[in-house]
C-alpha cells in the first residue's frame, strides 16, 4: 500500500514547480505600498516622493520608488538619472521587471514607467497581466516600503494608483484652490473605496502655523462632511533650497541634509513609520491586481 509520503511526493511532482504567485501565498511579504498624490498639479508630489524615499532609506528601510506619473518622467529627472529601461519594456515582453530596476542614490531602487508605460497597464491581455503580476511578486520581496509618485488630478490613470494603494499621502499647498482640490481627491477616495488610509502633507507653506491651519482644515472637512478620519502627517516650508535642488538635479536630502527641508522630510518619514506597520499578505501583488482591474475595468 502506498504510504502518505509517497502520495504527497507524487502529488508535488504532478503540480510542477511552484509559480511565483504560489510562493508568495506561502511567504507573504510585509511591504507597505504608499501612493503620493494630489488634487492640484505642481504642489510637490515628485519632490516629496523622491526625498521621502531617501529619508526612509536613511532610516534603514529598503525603499522602492515607482514613478507612475504619465507626464515627463520626473523622478529620473530629479535624480539626474537616465533609466535605460522602463515598465514599457516589461509590458512589451523585452525585459524582466527585475532588469529594469535602477539603483538610485542612498540605496533606493527606482522603477520608471516610461512615457506610455502606465497607459499600457490598461491594455494588457489576460496572459500578459498574469505574467506581470507574477513578476511583481519578486519585487515585493526587495522592498519594505514602495512609494508611488502619481500624476495630479482625478484622471483614471492617476486614480487607479491612489485607489489601489493601501495608503495614500495627499499633498497640497496652503492655497485655497489646492486645498479644495485636495478635498476633492479625498472625497473621491472615500467614495470609491472602503476605509481609505489618508494622510495629508502641506507643502510650500510660509510658516508652520499656516501649514497646520491648512492641514487641520482638511482633517475637519473630511471629518464633518465625509465622517472620514484623515491624518495630518506634517508640512514642509517653502524653501529656495528645494528649487535649487531641482535645478541641480540633486535631491535636497542629499544637497542640504541639515537644511530645513531635509529635517522636515525626516519628520515626515518618522510620522509614516510610526503610523502603521506593513499589512502583509502579498500587498504589492494585491495593489497591482487592483490597478490593472481599475484600469481595465475587468477582473
Q: 47 vs 256, which CB is nearer to ligand ATP?
A: 47
Taking CB under 6 A as the binding criterion, the range among 45-53, 107-115, 120-128, 270-278 that sits at the site for ligand ATP is 45-53
Looking at residues 72 to 91 of the shown chain, list those that interact with ligand ATP (rule: CB under 6 A).
Answer: 74
Does position 37 interact with Mg ion (CB under 5 A)? The reply is no
Q: 133 vs 242, which CB is nearer to ligand ATP?
A: 242
Nearest-angstrom CA–CA distance, 143 and 121: 22
Nearest-angstrom CA–CA distance, 265 and 257: 10
Q: Which does 152 bind (CB under 5 to 8 A by kind): Mg ion, ligand ATP, none?
A: ligand ATP
Contact present, 88 and 259 (Cβ < 8 Å): no
What does the per-residue mask of binding to ligand ATP show for 217-256, with x meaning CB under 6 A? -------------------x-xx--xx--x----------
The single residue among 74, 102, 150, 173 that binds Mg ion, judged by CB under 5 A, is 74
Q: Which does 113 bind (CB under 5 to 8 A by kind): ligand ATP, Mg ion, none?
A: none
Size of the site for ligand ATP (CB under 6 A): 22
The single residue among 24, 32, 39, 45 that binds ligand ATP, judged by CB under 6 A, is 45
CB of 145 to Mg ion, least distance (A): 19
Q: 24 vs 46, which CB is nearer to Mg ion?
A: 46
Q: 150 vs 256, which CB is nearer to Mg ion?
A: 150
Taking CB under 6 A as the binding criterion, the range among 66-74, 113-121, 185-193, 275-283 that sits at the site for ligand ATP is 66-74
Q: 19 vs 249, which CB is nearer to ligand ATP?
A: 249
Angle at 141 between CA 137 and CA 145, to 5 degrees: 110
Secondary structure, 3-state, the chain: CCCHHHHHHHHHHHHCCCCHHHHHHHCCCCCEEEEEEECCCCCCHHHHHHHHHHHHHHCCCCEEEEECCCCCCHHHHHHCCCCCCCHHHHHCCCCCHHHHCEECHHHCEEEECCCCHHHHHHCCCHHHHHHHHHHHHHHHCCCCEEEEEEEECCCHHHHHHHHHCCEEEEEECCCHHHHHHHHHHHHHHHHHCCCCEEEEEEEEECCHHHHHHHHHHHHHHHHHHHCCCCEEEEEEECCHHHHHHHHHCCCHHHHCCCCHHHHHHHHHHHHHHHHCCCCCCCHHHHHHHHHHHHHHCCC
CB of 94 to ligand ATP, least distance (A): 27
Q: 73 vs 137, which CB is nearer to Mg ion?
A: 73
CB of 219 to Mg ion, least distance (A): 24
Which chain residues interact with ligand ATP by CB under 6 A? 38, 41-47, 69, 71, 74, 151-152, 203-204, 236, 238-239, 242-243, 246, 261
- Residue ranges binding Mg ion (CB under 5 A): 45-46, 69, 74
Amino acid at each position: 500500500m502506498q504510504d502518505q509520503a509517497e502520495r504527497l511526493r507524487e502529488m508535488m511532482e504532478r503540480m510542477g514547480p511552484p509559480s511565483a504567485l504560489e510562493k508568495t501565498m506561502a511567504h507573504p511579504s510585509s511591504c507597505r505600498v504608499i501612493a503620493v498624490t494630489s488634487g492640484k498639479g505642481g504642489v510637490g508630489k515628485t519632490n516629496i516622493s523622491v526625498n521621502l524615499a531617501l529619508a526612509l532609506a536613511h532610516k534603514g528601510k529598503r525603499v522602492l520608488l515607482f514613478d507612475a506619473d504619465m507626464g515627463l518622467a520626473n523622478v529620473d529627472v530629479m535624480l539626474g538619472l537616465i533609466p535605460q529601461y522602463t515598465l514599457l519594456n516589461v509590458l512589451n515582453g523585452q525585459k524582466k521587471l527585475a532588469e529594469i530596476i535602477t539603483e538610485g542614490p542612498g540605496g533606493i531602487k527606482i522603477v520608471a514607467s516610461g512615457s506610455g508605460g502606465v497607459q499600457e497597464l490598461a491594455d494588457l491581455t489576460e496572459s500578459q497581466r498574469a505574467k506581470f503580476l507574477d513578476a511583481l511578486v519578486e519585487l515585493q520581496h526587495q522592498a519594505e516600503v514602495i512609494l508611488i509618485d502619481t500624476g495630479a488630478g482625478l484622471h483614471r490613470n492617476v486614480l487607479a494608483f491612489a485607489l489601489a494603494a493601501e495608503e495614500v499621502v495627499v499633498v497640497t499647498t496652503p492655497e485655497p484652490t489646492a486645498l479644495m482640490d485636495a478635498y476633492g481627491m479625498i472625497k473621491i477616495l472615500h467614495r470609491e473605496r472602503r476605509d481609505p488610509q489618508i494622510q495629508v502633507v502641506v507643502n510650500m507653506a510660509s510658516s508652520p502655523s499656516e501649514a497646520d491651519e491648512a492641514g487641520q482644515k482638511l482633517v475637519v472637512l473630511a471629518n464633518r462632511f465625509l465622517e472620514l478620519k484623515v491624518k495630518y502627517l506634517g508640512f514642509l516650508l517653502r524653501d529656495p533650497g528645494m528649487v535649487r535642488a531641482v535645478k541641480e538635479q540633486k535631491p535636497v536630502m542629499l544637497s542640504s541634509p541639515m537644511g530645513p527641508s531635509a529635517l522636515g522630510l525626516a519628520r515626515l518619514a518618522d510620522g509614516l513609520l510610526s503610523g502603521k506597520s506593513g499589512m502583509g499578505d502579498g500587498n504589492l501583488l494585491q495593489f497591482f491586481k487592483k490597478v490593472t482591474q481599475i484600469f481595465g475595468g475587468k477582473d
